[in-house]
Amino acid sequence: MDLGRLARIGSGSTARASSWDTTGRNDDAWNIEPGERRVLADIEGPGTITHLWMTQRNHYRECLLLVTWDHADRPSIVCPLGDFFGLGHGIVNSYHSLLFSASTRANNRFNQGCALNAYLPMPFREHARVELLNESNETHRQYFYVDHERGDVAADAGYLHAEFRRANPFPGWGGDIRVNTPDANVANKERLAWDNNYVILDATGRGHYIGCNLSVTNFQGTWWGEGDDMIWVDGYKWPPDLHGTGAEDYLNQAWGMQDNAFLRNGSSIFEHNTRGYQTSYVHHIENPVRFQREIKVTIEHGHGNHLANEMSSVAY
């Protein structure tokens, strides 16, 4: 976080696209009908989206956030609304990290009102389009701010991408086997790991990976972790460029996940408050994983991929 920037007087200008009632009355939300894809913000560049605020009562998995940069053929962000902001499963909960926050008076409940914030810088050079797609069978009511600055963008600035993935269930080979038992202690390495680990991110091009959130619906009911993170940079090799020691270790905790949310890692939804629904996050702000040609970010689900819970994730 560059607090010194707050003291520097810049030459850009600041603007906002929002859902405010242009009649001057107080109907400050937009109704988005089933199947409708609505443009929330259409911004000419160059510039940077500096903040997103969105609030709604429901449809955290049924509505998709889409963001397209510079007239590209397809969006760089296609993600369920709640998951993009770090809340999986359609559950809301108050939490705070450096990049995202959420606030609700109905913690750990499905489909309740919740304020969602994102503070990731999102630069663009020619144009930015922010959209919401309602895939539910109900009218969706959305309040929103898209705050942005108009001004030059650095030549080396990258575009934000967000990749959502889900396996329901993950195809584990022994879902009834408890973790940390002899039956689960199999060898998972080389191409077996490359081909069978849960994939968080699989991308080509040049950039850096700055973290993810990871959601688990714990069908088995015991500890869902012990899966090592394995990250391959610029192609397959063994061992991978980054090889970890367990799910909670990759998420920068230990001895399981805890009911806390820190600036760079934590539990935005904690399973013991929700009867088995967990969303964890880790943001590599000081230690992004840089790649020149391609990257594959994976994690075992249970050691050796034996578990068969639902898994979903968003990679940034």
**pLDDT of amino acid 6:** 84
Could you tell me where the DSSP H helices lie in the chain? 81-84, 190-196, 247-250
Fold of 162-315: Jelly Rolls (2.60.120)
**pLDDT of amino acid 11:** 86
User: H or E stretch including 146?
Assistant: strand 140-150
- pTM over 0.85? The answer is yes
Helix then strand then coil, in percent of the chain rounded to 5, is 10, 40, 50
**pLDDT of amino acid 1:** 67
Q: Boundaries of CATH 2.60.120.1390 in the chain?
A: 3-150, 162-315
**pLDDT of amino acid 285:** 97
**pLDDT of amino acid 10:** 84
CATH code for the part of the protein at 3-150 = 2.60.120.1390
Quick check: 298 and 165 in contact, CB under 8 A? no
The three state secondary structure string of 199-223 is EEEEEECCEEECEEEEEEECCCCCC
Please report, in tens digits, the pLDDT of each residue of the chain (316 residues total): 677 788 888 888 999 999 999 999 999 999 999 999 999 999 999 999 999 999 999 999 999 999 999 999 999 999 999 999 999 999 999 999 999 999 999 999 999 999 999 999 999 999 999 999 999 999 999 999 999 999 999 999 999 999 999 999 999 999 999 999 999 999 999 999 999 999 999 999 999 999 999 999 999 888 999 999 999 999 999 999 999 999 999 999 999 999 999 999 999 999 999 999 999 999 999 999 999 999 999 999 999 999 999 999 999 9
Q: Distances in Å between the alpha carbon of 32 and those of 36, 242, 250?
A: 6, 43, 38
